[in-house]
Each structure stands twice: as structure tokens, then as C-alpha cells.
Amino acid sequence: MEGTIKIEEFQIHCTMGAHSYERKIDQVVTIDLEMKLNLAEPVRTDSIVDTVDYEAVCTVCKDLAKTRRYHLIETFAYEALNAVLDTFPLKWAKIRVCKPGAIPLARCVSVEFEKHT
């Protein structure tokens, strides 16, 4: 049975920005992540070992953002999506990275990628 796990508005404090003034302080980016996988076994066993550990997914994204100082959310989103797909047994995933405050009077600027395995 295929299903979708979603993580919404996961906040990461990191250094990210194309402009020098953005790179002087930590900023917040939010991540929305959708992951398709076979959920038959975790439904049957009711065990975390048979599904994707949400905290582990968030840790992969957070560690990536903390390890590098990205200029573009595009680069971070692309690398985070690939890191998640490389780490977990997923059929498909979609990531949306949002940077609040990037444009005055806009809620956020965001980029999305999706990929099938």
C-alpha cells in the first residue's frame, strides 16, 4: 500500500543568502517535504523500524544546511532532496524550501523540486 508522509514547515536556522548582508547572520528557512513509499509493512507492524523516521529526515536536512553556507535556496533544496532520497527507501519525494523575509511585503520566496527514484 503506497502512502505519503509529509513534513510541513520544518524550520532550520542557517546561513543562506546571495548577498553579503544575508551571510552575516543566521536566517530561518522552512522545509515542506512529501515522501511516497510503501506503507504496508509499517501499518502491519506498527513499528518505526519499518517506516521512515521523520526526525531522521529532518536531521539530514538540518545537517546539510549547517554543514555548508549556501548562497541559493535552489542549491540547498536540490541537495537536500537528493540526500533524503539517497538515505531513505522512497519511491518519490518533493521538497519546498521557503525563505521568509527575502522580499519585502512577500510572505516568502520558495523553490520546489520533485524526483522519482
Bridge-based pairing state of the strands 92-100 and 27-38: antiparallel
At 17-43, the pLDDT tens digits run 887 777 777 889 999 999 999 999 999
Round to whole Å and give the CA distance between 75 and 22.
Answer: 16
Domain span at residue 108 reads 2-116
DSSP output for 68-103? S-BS-HHHHHHHHHHHHHHHS--SEEEEEEEEETSS
At 45-77, the pLDDT tens digits run 999 999 999 999 999 999 999 998 898 999 999
Q: What is the CATH number of the domain that holds 103?
A: 3.30.1130.10
Global confidence as pTM: 0.92
Per the structure, the count of domains in the chain is: 1
Strand order, beta sheet including 27-38:
2-14, 27-38, 92-100, 108-116
Which letter does DSSP use for residue 104 in this model?
Answer: T
